[in-house]
Structure 1
């Protein structure tokens, strides 16, 4: 299958080569840049790069290796050797034509660094910051010394100017010492090691490496261009970088979040948030360029800030990832492969020197990173895995070598040797890293973190990004605000409070700031986080300036993923909800949380603790209710009771009591494990052969609970309905009830809790 894939990929480039040659033969060579050639180059790089990337992934290598190989195959190393006319026709060396596709590639790498920054866990990076700095310093100093020494012993024939050997040696040292954060990030992500502790250390260290490396390059460039060291430009780069990082992670963090929310809530054009993020990325890249550091640092920091923004990160990631992977990455990494002319290595002397360069570069970087990891507090196996990951040079070396070639401190042969080293070390990195990590067992803390993150990927509460609170001036509203504040405070989620009790002018009369719902939300969030700043929760107040349905619809389009409803009257006659609740639910397609305060919460709607009962049935929406219950119990240090009611309608009971009990006990065990992951103590109860609503109400009467949390399905009907069990509990319970609904209505009523 892989060979057939290769053959099919080969047909497209061959057809394009022939068409381009035919076009050139008919019309002659164009004096200026050609759009036709640009499109042909892009099609070739995508077709061959993605095809070879597919093959690489099937044999356990990251796709970036295939994209680099595509550039080598289409460049002077193979196509230029076999059919030089075609290669030169497709990829002419005219500056104007080359600049066109280079521009696309460079913007693509900024997007890649943006995405990498979004996936970087800054808390984990801070935790291992000491290790990252130690690794970076040792990982630069050791290979830099090796590269410098090699440059001092190179034969004069390889030097563009033997009188400038010092500058060439400094360039060699720099080329050998820097890891490519772009290649490292791509490989670590594609190998699914991004969330491992070592993976985070590798990426963080590569970023530090890259930053230090560009400052070193600024120093060397000053020496090469002026013959003396320009202290002012170096100081500008160092101080500018420090100021840029300080401002970005203080004022910038808040500003980015506000920009994203403003764009999402205010602009009506298509994909406004993506537009703002791209502008932000470009601006920060320009700033880092102006202070004398490479643009990738600005894009990476922009990605971190976007990733830390508490809203819309999943949608942004999904929209960007496909475009970057399918378009920009094959172009960028393909061009890196095109830059190397490996045909010169047919000279045995150059081949030996290139092998020596690869050896020195690998030993120097591997040894330096290993020593740095040990000094930074990593154990032997972690340091081994880290050193394996840091050995990839990739496109950074190509950029450095290109700079050296352009300013005359590297010869064409030295350039090819450095690019070859970059390709070899990049291709060697994935198997080395995979082998090293295979010998690196996860410690208990890391295993628990990864399991929790995997669980959270499928979870409801952990994936919430933006709750909306719709309230009037009732006790129900106060309890709803308290619950919403607890949920928001756990993860620092921004929350919007929409007052639906009346029109704006009526609501603005006599509002007390200390007892307002915003104050309740803030206080609840502070109790969770222990912070005096609402746990990082940003609260926005909106008053209803239109009919209720229209007001909810206007807010719903802004991307809220949970609507918490707290209004004075919840139920009406028979099995109907109050008309206000129905109007709210009709305009919101996502999950609802409907609050009804009862019992002790009528006098104390902001309780110090919550003793929660949660009925479970094994369904998805039931698990959602359990997740919310666990989160609330964790936030308020309360108790949690879980009840499973097995009725004669359950298939397990019909097959036999023993088999049925195994199933129910498994469901209770799953819920217990969920609670254990968040250090919440729970009590489980199994009731058999009772009507669900009767069993739940009996449990309420016989235990000291003050809140029932139920996950319920919306049932398709001409009015809002969650089924008979939920209706009975909501109406007959003596304690407060919180209904957590699914986002879509089910066609068939299901009588389960």
Structure 2
């Protein structure tokens, strides 16, 4: 067996020194360029250029050779790091590809993208066909070279475009959305083209058979990825999140998928970047891979691995080659063809697509930026032996030049595009949704023993998340279940029960059938709750836990697994300072759970007649005091009302002054009523934006809680939704006197949303 020698001490020292210098200079220049409003990628690329033969090699040739011209195998170590950075960068690009955005902009985005691809692809192909042979690494493969140049001319740089749009605060405007959507379609087609051309280059033969094989390979991979692969990725990430519940596990899973898909596409004769990009798109559609996890992956990529990739790419660029008159002239021609092709293609289709001239200029200027994407294309072309060093340097220079042009053009043209009222309304709604409490709930836990209250809570949860991709975990707390986290089936529980009875733990054997009936009844209740939850858009999962310890410990253990909301159904016990409003189990969960809670308590009528759970909800009473917790409750009420087609009555009760205040001078309630009117009007406006039917009420009373109960009774409210922040008092959670009065005395079910 051949023994593989490890890296020598000196080889390891050199590669660590290389990475240290490259990362330091890349980050330094990247931040410097960002500070003056230019893309960081330009600075990171310049770091490699300056550390390469163009400057460092001229100023200090000895140091340059000692650090970067050690051996071919030594440089391959850098290439490995570069490829890891490239794969991660393509995952990030895929994560930024918003399929919903592309669908929303539909026809216009596709028309713009086709204009931005077909024209530059055609002009790029023609350019590649007429360039002198000295710019082709393998002159016999001019067709592949021309296709490669055409692909390089067609691609756009989404990261550069997005950065400029964010800086100008127009990323959510119509023109910003169109640029991103068209750019995403552009890039998606570009990566497919690149994989196809790279596949042809690898075969070394360009004929109908090889071309058809490559195209079919790409289509097969995409077809499997977006059907079977989509489900595998989504279910795996969900399973990992449920089983482990850490961001690190999700990041590792995404990277494993990217590496595996990259290996598959590389094995198929395509490029690893195609697999990484597709995985990024698929992972980005899984709501468990949320903003926080995505941000962690992007931060790690864009702060470490991407700068290293660009710096290493810059090392290969030789500025001295551009000083040659022939190379310089060809470079200018390539730059002109790149700009004219992209601008001409976009402007040519912008008017038929219904866009103004300024919108066409803005979109053309943005999509003309090649940035990181062009550098990736150039790197692959050089590695495949398609490009010479001079051609590589020209393409990288085009990437830098067009990336520097884009911000200036967009800053000049965007202010000239007027915003319509419809666009302004849409932007306001999207800003609300981005900050929305309900809209950002992705994982919800509903513990239950099958009680009427939790059955009604399940109904509210189903309505609350009817149109949202929220994952609901139904935690079934079953005294007959195994303590195993996987729970147990009916047969297993009956077996354990039989063993227990055989040991004489419970009275007579006559108890057996009764226990069996209890188990079956419990299972039926759990099944009904699960069936009700399945009506919402997200996934529903049943978890069964035994009662080796207390119920509160069981709930809290599960609640610490990364949930956004815990929904609790529970009867009320009392409202004095010592007795918990709800059971001590629920009281303890409310105080100790790490996320917001919603407690649902049904009315006595529903408890007596469980069939009333299915009665329609026609009117919802929403008390509000204008606080953050009231706003969260309002969001929940409007979501339920929209699903149930119910009317929401938004009520604010002004507290009458105490007798001592009246005696002191007769307080004027007009100001308080005016403020109350502003509060309910603000909530009503939100309700209308969300599609709910609303009415408002402002009243005054000595006891606001009693006034709310009377209002609910008088107007036949079917549900009351309230917001609260619990406050510690004695040994129990205290919701405030008004909330506790309403919960205890309400004639209908009450849902109290406790925001943390």
TM-score bracket for the superposition, by shorter chain length: 0.7 to 0.9
Separation in structure 2 between the aligned mates of residue 44 and residue 630 of structure 1, nearest angstrom: 56
SS in structure 2 of the partner of residue 711 of structure 1: strand
Residue 202 (1) aligns with residue 189 (2): no
Verify the 8 A CA contact 1:646 1:689 in the aligned structure 2: yes
**Structure 1's 232 and 191: CA in aligned 2 closer, same or farther, altered over 3 A?**
farther
Q: Hey, what's the Cα distance between the residues in 2 that align with 1:654 and 1:385?
A: 63
Which one of 293, 303, 317 corresponds to residue 326 of structure 1? 303
1:259 aligns with 2:236: yes
Q: Distance in 1 between matches of 2:378 and 2:195?
A: 15
Please give the secondary structure, in 2, of the residue aligned with 1:716: strand
Give 3-state SS (helix, strand or coil) of 1:489's partner.
coil
Q: In 2, distance between residues paired with 1:483 and 1:692?
A: 25
- Equivalents in 2 of 1:514, 1:367: separation in Å? 66
Counterparts of residues 202-241 of structure 1 (less than 5 Å): 202-218=182-198, 220-221=200-201, 226=204, 228-241=205-218
Tell me which of 723, 740, 744 is aligned to 1:727. 740
Measure how far apart 1:310 and its partner are: 2.9
2-side partners of 1:462 and 1:245: how far apart?
A: 31
Shift of residue 558 of structure 1?
Answer: 1.6
Separation in structure 2 between the aligned mates of residue 665 and residue 86 of structure 1, nearest angstrom: 75
CA distance 1:714–1:355, shift in 2 (3 Å): same
2:367 to 390, 398, 403: 390
Residues 581-620 of structure 1: matches in 2 within 5 Å? 581-598=586-603, 601-602=606-607, 603=609, 604-620=612-628
Superposed, which structure 2 residues align to 1:252-651 within 5 Å?
A: 252-267=229-244, 271-373=248-350, 380-406=357-383, 408-444=385-421, 446-500=423-477, 502-504=479-481, 505=493, 509=518, 511=520, 516-520=525-529, 522-523=531-532, 526=535, 534-547=536-549, 548-568=551-571, 571=574, 575-576=579-580, 577-598=582-603, 601-602=606-607, 603=609, 604-647=612-655
The equivalent residue for 1:6 is none
- Hey, what's the Cα distance between the residues in 1 that align with 2:54 and 2:619? 71
- CA deviation digits over 1:86-137, x for unaligned, max 9? 3333333733222223322322233233334334332222233444444444
1:705 to 687, 692, 717: 717
In 1, the alpha carbon distance for the partners of 2:640 and 2:221 equals 39
CA displacement, residues 233-267 of structure 1 (integer Å, 9 cap, x when unaligned): 43343233333333333333333232223223324
Query: Any idea what the Cα deviations from partners look like across 1:689-745, whole Å, max 9, x if unmatched?
Result: 6433233223223323121111111112322221222111111111211111122xx
Distance 1:338 1:540 in 2: 55
CA distance 1:521–1:326, shift in 2 (3 Å): same
Q: 1:152 to 1:496 in 2, by over 3 A?
A: closer
Further displaced range: 443-452 or 68-77: 443-452
TM-score under structure 1 length normalisation: 0.84
> Judging changes above 3 Å, is the alpha-carbon distance between structure 1 residues 474 and 675 closer, same or farther for their aligned structure 2 residues?
same
Return the alpha-carbon distance in structure 1 between the equivalents of residues 657 and 480 of structure 2.
47
How far apart are the structure 2 equivalents of 1:231 and 1:538? 49
2:152 aligned to 172, 175, 185, which one? 175
Distance 1:192 1:675 in 2: 27
Does residue 77 of structure 2 align to residue 100 of structure 1?
yes
Kept in 2: contact 1:38–1:100 (CA 8 A): yes
Q: 1:252 to 1:518 in 2, by over 3 A?
A: farther
> Does the C-alpha gap of structure 1 residues 335 and 571 become closer, same or farther in structure 2, counting only changes over 3 Å?
farther
Of 14, 18, 22, which residue of structure 2 is paired with 1:41? 18
Give the C-alpha shift of residue 194 in structure 1. 5.3
RMSD: 3.4
For the 8 Å contact 2:657–2:702, the answer to whether it is kept is: no
State the distance in 2 between where 1:623 and 1:101 align.
53
Distance 1:709 1:487, change over 3 A: same
User: What is residue 740 of structure 1 aligned with on the other side?
Assistant: 753
Cα pair 1:253 1:309 within 8 Å, conserved: no
Asked whether the 8 Å contact 2:96–2:284 carries over to 1, the reply is: yes
Q: Please, which moves more after superposition, 665-674 or 464-473?
A: 665-674
- Is this contact kept in 2: 1:599–1:706, CA < 8 A? no
Structure 1's 654 and 545: CA in aligned 2 closer, same or farther, altered over 3 A? farther
Moved more, 297-306 or 415-424: 297-306
Secondary structure of 1:385 counterpart: helix
1:675 positional shift: 0.9
2:459 and 2:533 in contact (8 A); partners too: yes
Quick one: distance in 1 between partners of 2:245 and 2:369?
Answer: 44
Which 10-residue stretch deviates more, 443-452 or 699-708? 443-452
* Cα distance, 1:581–1:155 mapped onto 2, change above 3 Å: closer
Q: Which runs of 5+ in 2 are unaligned?
A: 1-6, 482-492, 494-514
Shift in CA distance, 714/619, structure 1 to aligned 2, threshold 3 Å: same
Closer, same or farther: CA 663–338 of 1 in aligned 2, 3 Å: farther
Instruction: Show the counterpart of 1:747.
Output: none
CA contact (8 A) 2:39 2:403 kept: no
For the residue of structure 2 that corresponds to 1:253, the secondary structure is helix
Change (3 A) 1:447 1:154: same
Give TM-score, length-normalised by structure 2: 0.84
Distance 1:740 1:191 in 2: 37
The question of whether the paired residues in 2 share the 8 Å contact of 1:33 and 1:97 is answered with no
TM-aligned CA distance change 1:340 to 1:558, over 3 Å: same
